[in-house]
Amino acid sequence: MSTTSDPFDSCQRATGVSARTSALVWYAAIVAIGLNLRPLLTSISPLMATIREATGLSFYGASLLTSLPVVAMGLGAFGTGMLARRLGETRGVALGLVAIAAACAARAFASTGGALMLTATAAGAGVAAIQALLPAVMKQRFAHRVPLAMGLFSASIMGGGGLGASLSPLAAHLGGSWHAGLAVWALPALGALALWIGLNRGAHASARQAANPATSAAASANTHVPVWRKRRAWTLGLHFGLVNGGYTSLVAWLPAYYQQHGASVAASGSLLAAMTVFQAVCALLLPLAAARFTDRRPWLIAGLAAQLFGIAGLTAWPEAAPVLWVAFAGAGLGGTFSVSLVTALDHSGDHRIAASLVGFVQGLGFVIASIAPVVAGRVRDLTGGFTGAWIMLAISISAMIVLTLAFSPRSYGHWLGRHGRAAPKA
């Protein structure tokens, strides 16, 4: 066990804040940040018809408003290691919130498809920084409660997606334009930024006082691992990407799919919001259920099976029980998302190495996931429906169930190879 001083604990002792109060404030900050990571995606979908009419975007072009931020999440995650070394994890998270707030605010003035794509890319880069760097902070701050912290983070991400889908049409109505429905999400990003800055102001000072140059240099040398050379990193990234391809596809096209079956804009948006409610619940509950077990594979398989069942229902009987299908799909997506990240963090006891691995996994994963809605949009353009896209999605989920079997806890200690053994799970 490391004896390095924890700057968060130092800050806590210096200010006299109780451990429970400190933990609750940190959990609140994690939730506040997580709520801002999906409205930039889900606010688009229920307003898609209006946006397409105003900007002249095709179905393929409109799909880029969902896929471009996901591409930026992926490519941006590859650069978060350098961002962490230059600025540190907490400042990197703050920079990500600034990017999200600025991009959402700019949508108040975006009148063309190109301008919207630019804001989508900028916001996605901000999300990339947060999703890659905040887990490192959680790994350090909540060493023995990572599943709870990750569950709260994942649940808030999914909950934010639901808010984006359900409240954006209302904001657009109250604001008198679709621009208002997109730009309003700058406000919670600014609120989360203020909370994060206030929370970390003392921690940075304590960290500088506690830092030992020799120890820091040694730690830096031992944790600069080229994870992109590791087969396990690529396997986890592929798994994460194909699983989240279901999320990006459904966020982009679920309302349009049900509008084809006669649902109104409001009703189809409500289905997407309902899906994200089930995502949020299971993003919290599944990692908590898995917390007492070293082997995460049964929980990953359970989440994937639920997602597969929901997609099968959407494909075969879309009008029979739409709420049931989106409930299963959402529960599987949310639970698998959070347990996948916990599994990646399990691969190293050092939060820096774990952060590098999670950053790579998300980088590769989100690039893969970004392709899914584009493919689904293209299939829709060619066939006039989404059935082919849902079948392709079901096949990829089935393949990921098989790939999950490779993530045995016994393999955690060997993936680093000559760079050292990963610490066992606490």
| pLDDT tops 70 at residue 347 | yes
Q: What is the CATH number of domain 11-206+215-419?
A: 1.20.1250.20
Identify the residue with better confidence: 37 or 265.
37
- State the CB neighbour count (10 A cutoff) for residue 220: 11
* Band of pLDDT at residue 307, cut at 50, 70 and 90: very high
Helix (H, G, I), strand (E, B) or coil at 295: coil
Query: Confidence class of residue 220 from pLDDT cuts 50, 70 and 90?
Result: very low
What's the pLDDT tens digit per position in 7-61?
Answer: 445 445 444 457 777 788 899 999 999 999 989 888 887 888 888 888 888 877 8
Residues in CB range of 17: below 8 A, 6 or more apart: 25
Q: What is the pLDDT of residues 134-192, one digit of tens each?
A: 988 888 888 778 888 888 998 898 888 878 878 898 999 999 999 999 999 999 999 99
Mean pLDDT lowest for which of 182-186, 205-209, 365-369? 205-209
Q: pTM value?
A: 0.76
User: Which pairs with CB-CB distance under 8 Å and at least 24 residues apart come from 52-59?
Assistant: 54/111, 54/178, 55/111, 55/112, 55/113, 55/116, 56/113, 57/113, 58/381, 59/256, 59/377, 59/380, 59/381
User: Is the pLDDT reported for residue 268 higher than 60?
Assistant: yes
The yes-or-no verdict on residue 418 having pLDDT over 60 is no
> What local confidence, expressed as pLDDT, does residue 3 receive?
41
Alpha-carbon distances, residue 90 vs 154, 365, 390 (angstroms)? 18, 23, 39
Cα separation, 123 vs 98, in Å, equals 9
Asked which of 51-65, 302-316, 383-397 is least confident by mean pLDDT, the reply is 51-65
CB–CB of 422/347 below 8 Å? yes
pLDDT of residue 223: 52
Q: Residues with Cβ < 8 Å from 92, sequence gap 6 or more?
A: 80, 83, 84, 129, 133
Identify the weakest region by mean pLDDT among 113-122, 314-323, 326-335: 314-323
- pLDDT computed for residue 120 by the predictor: 92
The percentage of residues in the chain with a pLDDT greater than 70, rounded to a whole number, is 87
Q: How confident is the model at residue 419 (pLDDT cuts 50, 70, 90)?
A: low
Instruction: Please give the mean pLDDT across all residues of the chain.
Output: 82
